[in-house]
A and B are shown apart, each in its own frame.
Chain A
């Protein structure tokens, strides 16, 4: 199976219309908190991949979002979603929206939102967390 990243962004909100078109609101790559530890109440990680040569009879893929801290550890267990795929198509586009609530930052620094498809890291969005009063 071959996976190519088309899109991976963090944003404050999203909307999906009836024609499956996505709108991304306030795409960002930095979070400013007033104190550390700080909590960011809600963010979205939107990803889209091109998938080629699916294994036979595969009807879904496991997608997981994990937030990596500056030290290298992950915050919590992450979020897992199941993405349906068409086993007949040779090439297809798959996308998912991860909704993250109350993300706790215990330190300033460089974080990354990492997206795994079937346990393989396929996309990474870097962002920084800073204390800004």
Chain B
């Protein structure tokens, strides 16, 4: 009986020391992965890619238009620097499609406005685009 009591007391005493573990609720891993991913992708050089179509039933490209494509701040950005046009998206194709939409909108605007209504910059864009884009 005495043995049982002693043994039980010992088991209770020992149990408080059993396998304590620590944990962290701070999500370091995800933060690091995101930071590294962003740093790696941002460090990639700007790609120069051709636009071969406009996804439009009104306009078609007579020659490829070259745009810049880069990853920045969590998304891809496609840019036609000379036209001051930007498209963005979660991946490269998304960014290029967005840029095409912007380009078609710009073409519509330029066509609607007469040459005398356009400022110096838009007029330059119109001249530039006439070399590349044809109406269907």
* Chain A residues at the B interface, C-beta cutoff of 8 Å: 12, 26-35, 37-41, 43, 104, 132
CB distance from B107 to the nearest CB of A (A): 56
CA gap between A132 and B23 in the complex, in Å: 11
A-B contacts, 7 listed (Cβ < 8 Å) = A26-B24, A29-B23, A29-B26, A30-B23, A40-B20, A43-B22, A104-B16
B30: CB under 8 A from chain A? no
- Grouping DSSP codes into helix (H, G, I), strand (E, B) and loop, the B interface class, with mixed when no group exceeds half, is loop
By size class, the interface of chain B is 10 to 19
- Grouping DSSP codes into helix (H, G, I), strand (E, B) and loop, the A interface class, with mixed when no group exceeds half, is strand
Q: A30 contacts B15, CB within 8 Å?
A: no
Q: A41 contacts B25, CB within 8 Å?
A: no
CA gap between A61 and B24 in the complex, in Å: 31
> Which of A35, A43, A104 is close to B15, meaning CB atoms less than 8 Å apart?
A35
* Chain B residues at the A interface, C-beta cutoff of 8 Å: 15-26
CA gap between A31 and B22 in the complex, in Å: 4
CB distance from A98 to the nearest CB of B (A): 16
CA gap between A132 and B17 in the complex, in Å: 13
* Chain B residues whose CB sits within 8 angstroms of the CB of A28 once the complex forms: 22-24
* Chain B residues whose CB sits within 8 angstroms of the CB of A34 once the complex forms: 15, 18-20
CA gap between A41 and B22 in the complex, in Å: 11
* Chain B residues whose CB sits within 8 angstroms of the CB of A37 once the complex forms: 16
CA gap between A34 and B21 in the complex, in Å: 9
